[in-house]
């Protein structure tokens, strides 16, 4: 059975909002311990795909297996058990602005694992150091942080409970190239240290090349190409070629209004 | 106009109304269920109680004192025509405890707290903080909605109790220092006219209004869409719908509470 090797297995995933069909039959596998990056233009449904897998959105149709277990139609209680395997870094960081930085990082430890606050704080400070931030940052409010620091704190929060699967939604978008690369390195290190499976989405090719074992491209609601990162320049797929070289000419037509 | 167009428009409006009502009902059931089942978040409940109760005191107190004062003044103008000035304490105590205390406090808190709730939760929605809560294995209904509902239902009656006292004091001040009433007689009359049932009915109303304010603040914030504009719209809707529901439910509660 291939189920044993796949941590995430998506089959025939459909999702529409009203008349707008966003996903129209996505098939995708992510192996245990693998780092898969989904690339695609803005508004092609990358975030929607990740949110369906996380259970934040309900698929209209299709199957999503996590570690061999069907998650579509799961009860709330089962869902909670699966959720504990996940860590997620949101596009904008999504830090809780009513809480201090360390409380953000320790959130799941305190609220979900019911750890004493001081013990959780120690772990939070450890994770803060892992993402290269000074201990003083722990006492700040998220609003006092720069974009790059917010991403780092978001990453520290995502890995605080040592998840088996980590999701990254556009981890480098909105950062300067150097900070972007710092985040890439942190992602690679964190995923490797945890031995976690990673599913990332991005339109930043430099980031994709760096953090991916395999790359998949999403276009018009489907995965149109998947392959090892080494093959991306010889994909033989004109859509992929157009995207990675960022050319306006080609088969991909940008909708002027999304 | 084409009759079919007319029918389809009417049907469309009706369907929208039903959908909205249905969604609010589902939200209400979830909110109630999660507010009374563990885990509870005592820290957040206390935090919300302070933000609703303590920080609303100035605005509610000011509203109450001027309402009590104007009540005394207005009823004096009216009653002096029939030489019935002695009924002023009665009018003040009855109107404040039964009606004006809960309704005015409810409306003021809806403007202050309902708006803040919708804005805060709405911002959390559009910045994906609510999604983040879920991925951190925390139920947003328990973490965000529950504490606000509990705080709303418990703090509004306390606020109204304070508003009642301040409102009656306002009436007393105007009657004694401006209209020349004898302070002792006024107080004795106030006490004689005071009914515990009136007070209780006002406090029951207050609890219901507190529920409405928190529920609509959370509901509109939770369902807001599309950036800053969406949050702004959610805030306005939260205040307007809560205010209207307070006034509507006030009528039906009055009918229910005084039907015997
Ligand atoms: N909750 C939602 N309600 C309605 N439409 C949505 C929702 N979430 C996403 N969409 C739409 O789905 C499309 C894909 O969005 P998204 O997955 O965020 O794109 P991206 O690939 O840039 O991450 C967009 O056109 C967006 O408007
Ligand atoms: Mg996105």
Q: Provide mean pLDDT across the span B155-161.
A: 98
Closest by CA position to B27, among listed B254, B223, B240: B223
**pLDDT beyond 90 at B138:** yes
| pLDDT value for B1 | 62
d(CA B178, CA B171): 10
Q: What DSSP string runs through chain B?
A: --HHHHHHHHHHHHHHHHHHHHHHHHHHHHHHHHHHSSPP-HHHHHHHHHHHTGGGHHHHHHHHHHHHHHHHHHHHHHHGGGT-GGGHHHHHHHHIIIIIHHHHHHHHHIIIIIHHHHHHHHHHHHTTHHHHHHHTT--HIIIIIHHHHHHHHHHHHHHHHHHHHHHHHHHHHIIIIIS---HHHHHHHHHHH--HHHHHHHHHHHHHHHHHHHHHHHHHHHT--SHHHHHHHHHHHHHHHHHHHHHHHHHHHHHHHT--
Binding site membership of A202 for ligand 1 (Cβ less than 6 Å)? no
Q: Provide mean pLDDT across the span B171-196.
A: 93
A contacts of B134 (beta carbons < 8 Å): 54-56, 83
Determine the distance separating the centroid of ligand 2 and the alpha carbon of A90, expressed in angstroms.
Answer: 9
Closest by CA position to B221, among listed B106, B144, B165, B162: B144
Q: What percent of chain A has pLDDT over 70?
A: 97
What's the mean per-residue pLDDT of chain B? 94
Say which DSSP state A41 is in. -
Q: Provide mean pLDDT across the span A30-51.
A: 95
Closest by CA position to A160, among listed A133, A188, A121: A121
**pLDDT beyond 80 at A188:** yes
Q: What percent of chain B has pLDDT over 70?
A: 99
Structure tokens at A247: 């050319």
Q: Using only C-alpha atoms, what is the Rg of chain A?
A: 18
A contacts of B124 (beta carbons < 8 Å): 96
Contact B129 A80 (CB under 8 A): no
**pLDDT beyond 80 at A253:** no
Say which DSSP state A115 is in. -
**pLDDT beyond 50 at B112:** yes
Task: Convert A182-194 into a string of H (helix), E (strand) and C (coil).
Answer: HHHHHHHHHHHHH
Name the residue ranges covered by the structural domains of chain A. Answer: 1-85+198-258
Q: What percent of chain A has pLDDT over 90?
A: 86
Name the residue of A43, A174, A202 whose CB sits within 8 Å of the most ligand 1 atoms, as the mutation to test its pocket: A43
**Could you tell me where the beta strands, DSSP code E, fall in chain A?**
6-17, 20-31, 35-39, 61-66, 69-70, 86-89, 165-169, 197-202, 214-219, 222-228
Distance from CA of A245 to the nearest CA of B (A): 31
Ligand 1 atom closest to A44 (CA): 21
Binding site membership of A42 for ligand 1 (Cβ less than 6 Å)? yes
Among A45-49, A51-55, A215-219, B17-21, the range scoring the smallest mean pLDDT is: B17-21
**pLDDT beyond 50 at A258:** no
pLDDT tens for A196-215 read 999 999 999 999 999 999 99
| pLDDT value for A2 | 47
pLDDT tens for B214-246 read 999 999 999 999 889 999 999 999 999 999 999
A contacts of B120 (beta carbons < 8 Å): 98
Q: Phi and psi for A72 in degrees, rounded to 5?
A: -75, 130
Contact A92 B137 (CB under 8 A): no
B260 reaches A (C-beta below 8 A): no
Closest by CA position to A254, among listed A225, A205, A219, A204: A219
**pLDDT beyond 80 at B207:** yes
B42 reaches A (C-beta below 8 A): no
Determine the distance separating the centroid of ligand 2 and the alpha carbon of A43, expressed in angstroms.
Answer: 7
Q: Provide mean pLDDT across the span B33-51.
A: 94
Contact B129 A88 (CB under 8 A): no
**pLDDT beyond 80 at A226:** yes
Burial B73-88 (b: 16+ CB within 10 A, else e): bebbeebeeeeebebb
Among A95, A98, A112, the residue with its CB nearest the CB of B137 is A112
d(CA A154, CA A150): 6
Q: Provide mean pLDDT across the span B153-169.
A: 97
10 Å Cβ neighbour count for A168?
29
Report residue B254's pLDDT band, with 50, 70 and 90 as the boundaries: very high
**pLDDT beyond 50 at B255:** yes
10 Å Cβ neighbour count for A160?
24
Closest by CA position to A159, among listed A150, A170, A168: A168
8 A C-beta contact, residue A109 and residue A188: no
Determine the distance separating the centroid of ligand 1 and the alpha carbon of A47, expressed in angstroms.
Answer: 7
Q: For A127, how many CA atoms within 13 A lie in the half-sphere containing its CB?
A: 29
Q: Provide mean pLDDT across the span B169-182.
A: 95
Contact A51 B131 (CB under 8 A): yes
Interface test with B, best of A96, A112, A141, A150 (most B CBs within 10 A): A96
Interface test with A, best of B19, B127, B135, B138 (most A CBs within 10 A): B135
Cα A150 off chain centre by? 16
Nearest CA to ligand 1 atom 9: A48
pLDDT tens for B73-106 read 999 988 888 877 888 999 999 999 999 999 999 9
Q: Does domain A1-85+198-258 have CATH number 3.40.50.800?
A: no
What's the structural domain count of chain B? 1
Q: Which residues surround ligand 2, an ion (CB under 5 A)?
A: A 47
Among A181-185, A250-254, B96-100, the range scoring the smallest mean pLDDT is: A250-254
Q: Provide mean pLDDT across the span B136-141.
A: 95
| Mode of pairing for the β-strands spanning A197-202 and A35-39 | parallel
A56 reaches B (C-beta below 8 A): yes
10 Å Cβ neighbour count for B174?
21
User: B193: domain range?
Assistant: 42-258
| pLDDT value for A4 | 52
Distance from CA of B18 to the nearest CA of A (A): 17
Number of residues that make up chain B = 260
Q: pTM of the full predicted structure?
A: 0.91
Binding site membership of A221 for ligand 1 (Cβ less than 6 Å)? no
| pLDDT value for B242 | 97
Report residue A3's pLDDT band, with 50, 70 and 90 as the boundaries: very low
Q: For residue B134, is the peptide bond before it cis, meaning its omega torsion is within 30 degrees of 0?
A: no
d(CA B142, CA B163): 30
| pLDDT value for B6 | 85
Report residue B45's pLDDT band, with 50, 70 and 90 as the boundaries: very high
B86 within a domain of the structure (yes/no): yes
Nearest CA to ligand 1 atom 25: A43
Q: Is B207 exposed, middle or buried (0-12, 13-18, 19+ CB in 10 A)?
A: middle
Report residue A256's pLDDT band, with 50, 70 and 90 as the boundaries: low
Closest by CA position to B93, among listed B221, B229, B226, B192: B192
| pLDDT value for A255 | 62
A97 reaches B (C-beta below 8 A): yes
């Amino acid at each position: 059975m291939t189920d044993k090797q796949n941590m995430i297995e998506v089959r025939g995933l459909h999702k529409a909002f009203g008349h707008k069909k966003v996903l129209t039959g996505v098939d995708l596998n992510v192996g245990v311990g693998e780092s898969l990056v989904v690339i695609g233009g803005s508004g092609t449904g990358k975030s929607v795909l990740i949110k369906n897998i996380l259970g934040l959105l309900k698929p209209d149709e299709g199957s999503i297996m996590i570690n061999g277990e069907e998650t579509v139609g799961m009860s709330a209680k089962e869902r909670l058990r699966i959720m504990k395997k996940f860590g997620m870094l949101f596009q904008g960081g999504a830090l809780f602005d009513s809480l201090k930085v360390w409380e953000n990082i320790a959130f799941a430890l305190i609220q979900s694992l019911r750890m004493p606050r001081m013990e959780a704080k120690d772990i939070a400070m450890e994770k803060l150091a892992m993402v290269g931030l000074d201990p003083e940052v722990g006492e700040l409010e998220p609003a006092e942080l720069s974009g790059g620091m917010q991403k780092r704190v978001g990453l520290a929060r995502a890995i605080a409970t040592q998840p088996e699967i980590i999701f990254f939604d556009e981890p480098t978008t909105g950062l300067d190239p150097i900070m972007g690369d710092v985040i890439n390195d942190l992602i690679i290190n964190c995923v490797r240290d945890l031995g976690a499976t990673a599913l990332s989405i991005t339109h930043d090719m430099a980031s994709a090349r760096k953090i991916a074992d395999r790359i998949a491209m999403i276009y018009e609601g489907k995965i149109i190409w998947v392959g090892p990162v080494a093959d991306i320049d010889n994909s033989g797929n004109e859509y992929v070629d157009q995207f990675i070289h960022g050319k306006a000419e080609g088969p991909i037509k940008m909708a002027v209004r999304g | 106009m084409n009759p079919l167009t007319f029918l389809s428009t009417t049907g469309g409006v009706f369907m929208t109304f039903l959908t909205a009502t249905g969604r609010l009902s589902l939200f209400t059931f979830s909110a109630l269920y999660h507010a009374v089942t563990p885990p509870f978040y005592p820290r957040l409940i206390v935090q919300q109680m302070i933000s609703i109760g303590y920080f609303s005191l100035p605005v509610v107190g000011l509203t109450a004192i001027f309402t009590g004062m104007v009540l005394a003044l207005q009823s004096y103008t009216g009653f002096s025509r029939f030489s019935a000035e002695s009924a002023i304490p009665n009018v003040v105590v009855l109107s404040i405890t039964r009606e004006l205390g809960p309704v005015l406090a409810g409306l003021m808190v809806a403007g202050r707290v309902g708006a803040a709730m919708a804005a805060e939760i709405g911002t959390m929605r559009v910045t994906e903080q609510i999604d983040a809560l879920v991925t951190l294995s925390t139920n947003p209904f328990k973490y965000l909605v529950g504490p606000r509902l509990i705080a709303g239902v418990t703090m509004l009656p306390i606020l109204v109790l304070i508003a009642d006292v301040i409102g009656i004091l306002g009436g007393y001040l105007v009657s004694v220092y401006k209209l020349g009433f004898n302070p002792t007689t006024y107080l004795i009359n106030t006490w004689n006219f005071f009914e515990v049932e009136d007070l209780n009915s006002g406090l029951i109303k207050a609890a219901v209004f507190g529920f409405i304010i928190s529920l609509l603040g959370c509901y509109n914030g939770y369902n807001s869409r599309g950036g800053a504009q969406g949050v702004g719209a959610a805030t306005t809707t939260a205040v307007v719908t809560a205010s209207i529901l307070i006034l509507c439910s006030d009528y039906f509660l009055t009918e229910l509470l005084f039907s015997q």
